[in-house]
Each structure stands twice: as structure tokens, then as C-alpha cells.
Amino acid sequence: MLARSRLPALIPSLFVLRPSLAMSSATGTVTIHQPLNYRAGARVHPADGGQAEEVYEPATGRVICKVLSSGEKEVDLAVQSAKAAFKIWSQMSGMERSRVLLEAARIIREQGEEIATMETINNGKSIFEARVDIDISWQCLEYYAGLAGSLAGEHIQLPGGSFGYTRREPLGVCVGIGAWNYPFQIACWKSAPALACGNAMVFKPSPFTPVSVVKLAEIFTEAGVPKGLFNVVQGGAATGQFLCHHPDVAKISFTGSVPTGIKIMEMAAKGIKPVTLELGGKSPLIIFSDCALENAVNGALMANFLTQGEVCCNGTRVFVERKILDAFTKEVVKRTQKIKIGDPLLEDTRMGALINRPHLDRVQGFIKQAKEQGAEVLCGGDLYVPDDPKLKNGYYMRPCVLGNCTDDMTCVKEEIFGPVMSILPFDTEEEVVERANATKFGLAGGVFTRDIQKAHRVVAALKAGMCFINNYNISPVELPFGGYKASGFGRENGRAAIEYYSQLKTVCVEMGDVESVF
Ligand code: NAD
């Protein structure tokens, strides 16, 4: 296969990962190539900065590689390289851009198993889920390739034969800053609409997951984008700040926490740069007693335990109508206890390791506090130590269901970003809608009921950007995704994202003589 035979031709590898464990996935061994900064169509050592940070494999706790952060000079070089490529790319027709994006989608699909394995090793999520992430990633590129050829303005007739028209133009160099929970997918959700609209991009992944996005950069180059159109800089807050303050950056698209989102918005305000903010959440999932119980239980598990619970739109406040509280809780606990935890590269694993030790400790802290505040641990919540000695230093915990919860508890109010579900009983529709909306966040929400009028009435009343009826946490790329309130603004995916990566120019054309009032 092309994907495998191309590997040796790449820049010499420095780190071969867990060969024995990687053998257990369909891919075999995966290699991380160095360096991990990417500029003007090639991997480069950063021109400055250069501080080496260790990157961990969550499943084993071992260092898999080191990444050199980018300083101000490297950030500038990446932006300049994007600017140069923008001149070429923005002049191409939508159809020409579409062909390149389709080719990138094809390569991702072809190399999907290798990319999924890389993602699993660097992020800790199960290979089963990583494959889904990669599928959603190439689908996103295909979707925007499909739109690229039809991006257009409109023609407006004016009196006397005069007319106006609008041109939908790209913004220029866009910055993408990503979180660590969906490293490759976040990069695709940002770059696909950005590139389709004719922009260039400099992307900074989380320092915890710097690996797979460089693969995406190589794929774009192989697919035929002009060199420099998609660049990767590495590092943490300092590198992100250099990007946000750079005068040649036209737009910032950020995925991450609310506190960082506030800082991004402040920096963008200084340069009057448009921003998209995809931030955190504490979303409600409302289970009415007239639901199909098995579907509701499945929905609650999907809403809480994908990617070890490290999902922004998770429905972590599960409101259950009191009439079915016992039946629902019993079934959810039974199913949660059966979730197979362990080596994320094994085919039957459904929950891998959390991203790192400090985050695992933080999640544990939330559970301890929940108990102190009166919640009851119905299952899980403790650390999990796999039998395999290679995994003994990994960051595992058992998925947790909390009962006896009340709305004022910290575990119900704050984003935990781990596998912790809080169950909250309710009695009436009016009451549950009010409680569901009583949060600073507004990313997502869900409802399970067989009553079609009630379903639409309730989602219409929810103050959240992404709502689900009788399902949860599916992400078709055709649907816009984004938050209300403190969960951010702007939209990714769907046609809506085009608005956030382009601008309208209005041209007014006079066909007659100019009449002056002076
Ligand atoms: P984070 O805010 O700590 O970091 C996100 C990114 O911002 C990283 O790349 C980080 O290096 C960078 N960064 C940090 N400080 C910065 C600064 N001052 N200037 C510029 N860049 C800076 O978030 P995280 O821990 O990586 O991710 C978890 C959070 O992301 C959760 O709150 C989760 O809900 C949210 N998230 C939201 C979505 C969404 O689509 N709404 C998706 C995934 C994750």
C-alpha cells in the first residue's frame, strides 16, 4: 500500500513507538518523524524558540518524542510563508481548489489506519474511536471541496440599468489553535473551510498532541496545495500569543477552554481580527419517561464516555424524569461497568487513557469533591491499573456515574472533561428546561422522548448551539457546530462555516452619468 511504502522516504524517524503494542493494531508499528514544525511545504527546525518539551503516550506514560516550540521569529516565518502561498491559492478558481482538497481527502482515507494509530498513541483514545475521527476528518475535506466550486456572491439590479454585485473573498492568513482531545479532526474542521474559501493557514496544535497535524500538513502538500499554504507551529501559550498578535494574521479560529478563549478574544480585539471560539460546555441531556429506554441509555453513554469523557459537547448533566429514575440509573450503571478499559490500540477496547497525569488528578479531584458535597458514586471513579505491565504507568480510570446529585454541586456546575456522568431527577418539563438552561455554558443539549411535539418544544427552549433529539454526540460534517453563551460563537462545519472564513465585498456599478449635488 502507498501509505506504508511511503514511510521510509520521509525524513528519518527518531522514535519508533511501542512496537510490541502497536503490533496489536491493524497498522503495526507507527513512526513519529521529526522535526514537528512545518513551514513552506517541509518539516523544519524552528528558527528560534526551540525549547524542547516532552510528549507523552497516555496509555503507557512514557515519553514518545520531544517537540521544539516556535518562538516569535518562527511564527513570523510561518505567517510569511502562508502569505506567499495565499497569493497563489486565492487566485485559483473554486473548482481548482476543490480538486486539491478532494485529493487530500483521498490520501487521508488511504492512510487512515496509520493516522488513527498515531492519534491513539498520542491522545490515548481507543483505536476504534480514532478511526471514526479520521473518517469525519476526510469527510469534512470532501464536504468543503464540494462547496468550493459554488462559492459566489450575488447580482443586485439597481435603477437606470445600474447594478451591484458582491464578491465572496477570502480573509487571508487564518490562524487555527487546537485542543488536545481531537487533534487531527480539529485541524481538518478548521483548515477545510478555510482553504476552500481561498485562505492560507498557520495551525498550532496543543503541546500535548503535536504529532498528527504535521501528517495533515504533509498530506496537503502531497495533494498539491502551494508550498506554505498550511503551516504548523508548535508550542503552548507563548507561541499562541505570537500568532494572535501577528499583524499579518486576518482571523483566529480557536478550540479550547473558556479562560483561554477570553484571552484569545482580548488579543483579537487589539487587532480587530474576527474570531471563532469553540469553547467548553456542561451540557444537559433530558430523558423523559416516555422515551425508548434502551436508546436513552445508549444516548447517555455516548454523551458521556467517548474519548474518556474528554469531549466539549458531552451531556454530563443527565436529567431523568423521576418516574423512570431507578430503571434508567440501574441500566446505565450496568452498562458503564461493562465498558472495556485498557490498551487503546486493542480492537475491543472502548475506553483508553486520559490525556496526562495532571488532568487525571484533576478529574479525580472533582469526584472527591462530589462525594464531599453529598453525591453518591454509583460506579467507577477509581483509578484503573491494567494487568499488562507495559500499561501500568498509563492514565486510566473507571468511568463514573454519580447519583444523588443536586444542581449546586461543583460536579454539576463545572466542566470536568473526564468520564463522569451526573444524574439529576426532575418532575416537569417546565422545571427541567429552566434547570438545563441555568448554566454559563451553552454548547449542546439533548432530549429523549417519543412525543414529537415535546421534543421540538424542549430543544427550541434550550439555550445551546447544538441540540440532539433521540441521539447524542454524532457529528455529521453537514451540520453547523458551535456554542451559545460562554461556550463561544462562530460555527464550524456545514455551510455556516463559510461565513466565518470569507468576507463580502460589494461593488456598485454606475451605468449612467454622475449627478452631483454640488
Ligand atoms: P486550553 O484552552 O488549555 O488550550 C487550547 C489551545 O490554546 C492549546 O493549543 C494551547 O496551547 C493554546 N493556548 C493556551 N493559552 C494560550 C494563550 N494565552 N494564547 C494563545 N493560545 C493559548 O484547552 P485544552 O485543555 O487544550 O482543551 C480542553 C478544552 O477545550 C475544554 O474546555 C473543552 O471543552 C474545549 N474544547 C472545545 C471544543 C469545541 O468545539 N467547542 C472542542 C474541543 C475542546
- Residue 378 Cβ inside 6 Å of ligand 1? The answer reads no
Q: How many CB atoms are located within 10 Å of the residue 17 CB?
A: 22
The CA-based dihedral angle spanning residues 191, 196, 199, 200, taken in that order and rounded to the nearest 10 degrees: 50
Whole-number Å distance, alpha carbon 181 to ligand 1 midpoint, is 9
- Residue 359 Cβ inside 6 Å of ligand 1? The answer reads no
**CA end-to-end span of the chain, whole Å?**
74
Give the pLDDT confidence score for residue 29 in this predicted structure: 67
Whole-number Å distance, alpha carbon 258 to ligand 1 midpoint, is 8
**Residue among 490, 444, 495, 453 at smallest CA distance from 471:** 444
Give φ, ψ of 224 to 5 degrees: 115, 15
Cell numbers placing 14: 527518531
User: Which residue is closest in CA terms to ligand 1's atom 13?
Assistant: 237
Give the pLDDT confidence score for residue 25 in this predicted structure: 42
Give the pLDDT confidence score for residue 9 in this predicted structure: 29
Q: How many CB atoms are located within 10 Å of the residue 102 CB?
A: 18
Domains defined along the chain, listed by start: 31-279+487-505 (3.40.605.10), 284-469 (3.40.309.10)
What's the rounded Cα separation, in Å, for the pair 141 and 38?
20
- Residue 464 Cβ inside 6 Å of ligand 1? The answer reads no
Give the pLDDT confidence score for residue 8 in this predicted structure: 31
Whole-number Å distance, alpha carbon 192 to ligand 1 midpoint, is 20
3-state secondary structure 286-332: EECCCCCHHHHHHHHHHHHHHHHHCCCCCCCEEEEEHHHHHHHHHHH
- Residue 181 Cβ inside 6 Å of ligand 1? The answer reads yes
Please give the model's pTM, rounded to 2 decimal places.
0.94
User: Which residue is closest in CA terms to ligand 1's atom 40?
Assistant: 278
Region 77-89: mean pLDDT is 98
CA–CA distances in Å: residue 110 to residues 61, 103, 114, 281: 30, 10, 9, 34
Whole-number Å distance, alpha carbon 417 to ligand 1 midpoint, is 12
User: Which residue is closest in CA terms to ligand 1's atom 26?
Assistant: 179
Q: Are strands 275-278 and 488-489 parallel, antiparallel or unpaired?
A: antiparallel
Please return the burial class of 322, using the count of CB atoms within 10 Å of its CB with bins 0-12, 13-18 and 19+: exposed
Region 112-126: mean pLDDT is 98
**Residue among 31, 228, 223, 32 at smallest CA distance from 138:** 223
Give the pLDDT confidence score for residue 374 in this predicted structure: 98
> Catalytic positions, please?
278
Pair 482, 490: CB distance under 8 Å: yes
280: left (phi over 0), alpha (psi -120 to 50) or beta: beta
Is residue 175 predicted with pLDDT exceeding 60? yes
Residues 6+ apart with CB under 8 A from 512: 160, 161, 162
- Residue 442 Cβ inside 6 Å of ligand 1? The answer reads no
Residues 6+ apart with CB under 8 A from 494: 477, 478, 479, 480, 481
40: left (phi over 0), alpha (psi -120 to 50) or beta: left
Residues 6+ apart with CB under 8 A from 290: 449, 450, 451
Q: 73-86 b/e with 16+ CB inside 10 Å = b?
A: ebbbbbbbbbbebb
| pLDDT band with cut points at 50, 70 and 90 for residue 51 | confident
Is residue 7 predicted with pLDDT exceeding 50? no
User: Which residue is closest in CA terms to ligand 1's atom 37?
Assistant: 279
Whole-number Å distance, alpha carbon 279 to ligand 1 midpoint, is 7
Region 261-283: mean pLDDT is 98
- Residue 260 Cβ inside 6 Å of ligand 1? The answer reads yes
- Residue 356 Cβ inside 6 Å of ligand 1? The answer reads no
Q: Which atom of ligand 1 is nearest to the CA of 259?
A: 2
Choosing from 182, 260, 362, 420 the residue with most ligand 1 atoms within 8 A of its CB, the one to mutate for a pocket test is 260
Residues 6+ apart with CB under 8 A from 49: 68, 69, 70, 71, 72, 73, 74, 235, 238, 239
Question: What pLDDT, in 10s, does the model give residues 348-389?
Answer: 999 999 999 999 999 999 999 999 999 999 999 999 999 999
Q: 362-397 b/e with 16+ CB inside 10 Å = b?
A: ebbebbeebeeeebebbbbbeebebeeeebebbbbb
Region 440-445: mean pLDDT is 98
- Residue 237 Cβ inside 6 Å of ligand 1? The answer reads yes
Region 460-468: mean pLDDT is 98
Is residue 435 predicted with pLDDT exceeding 90? yes
Q: How many CB atoms are located within 10 Å of the residue 262 CB?
A: 13
Region 501-510: mean pLDDT is 98
Cell numbers placing 41: 511545504
Q: Which atom of ligand 1 is nearest to the CA of 277?
A: 41
Give the pLDDT confidence score for residue 255 in this predicted structure: 98
User: Which residue is closest in CA terms to ligand 1's atom 43?
Assistant: 312
Is residue 49 predicted with pLDDT exceeding 90? no
3-state secondary structure of 94: helix
- Residue 234 Cβ inside 6 Å of ligand 1? The answer reads no
Question: What pLDDT, in 10s, does the model give residues 250-259?
Answer: 999 999 999 9
Whole-number Å distance, alpha carbon 398 to ligand 1 midpoint, is 25
Whole-number Å distance, alpha carbon 278 to ligand 1 midpoint, is 9
User: Which residue is closest in CA terms to ligand 1's atom 18?
Assistant: 237
What's the rounded Cα separation, in Å, for the pair 25 and 145?
31
Please give the single-letter amino acid code of residue 345: L
What's the rounded Cα separation, in Å, for the pair 490 and 397?
34
What's the rounded Cα separation, in Å, for the pair 251 and 509?
30
| pLDDT band with cut points at 50, 70 and 90 for residue 26 | very low
- Residue 274 Cβ inside 6 Å of ligand 1? The answer reads no
Whole-number Å distance, alpha carbon 257 to ligand 1 midpoint, is 4
Pair 14, 65: CB distance under 8 Å: yes
Q: Which atom of ligand 1 is nearest to the CA of 261?
A: 2
Region 207-214: mean pLDDT is 98
Better-predicted residue by pLDDT, 310 or 25: 310
- Residue 263 Cβ inside 6 Å of ligand 1? The answer reads yes
What's the rounded Cα separation, in Å, for the pair 230 and 218?
9
What's the rounded Cα separation, in Å, for the pair 394 and 346?
15
Q: Which atom of ligand 1 is nearest to the CA of 260?
A: 2
- Residue 241 Cβ inside 6 Å of ligand 1? The answer reads yes
- Residue 331 Cβ inside 6 Å of ligand 1? The answer reads no
What's the rounded Cα separation, in Å, for the pair 411 and 282?
10
CA–CA distances in Å: residue 94 to residues 26, 122, 187, 197, 289: 37, 35, 21, 8, 50
Q: Are strands 444-448 and 420-426 parallel, antiparallel or unpaired?
A: unpaired
Region 190-202: mean pLDDT is 99
Share the mean pLDDT of the chain. 94
Better-predicted residue by pLDDT, 367 or 4: 367
User: Which residue is closest in CA terms to ligand 1's atom 30?
Assistant: 256
3-state secondary structure 392-409: CCCCCECCEEEECCCCCC
- Look-up of cell digits 513570523: 76
Is residue 32 predicted with pLDDT exceeding 80? yes
Whole-number Å distance, alpha carbon 178 to ligand 1 midpoint, is 6
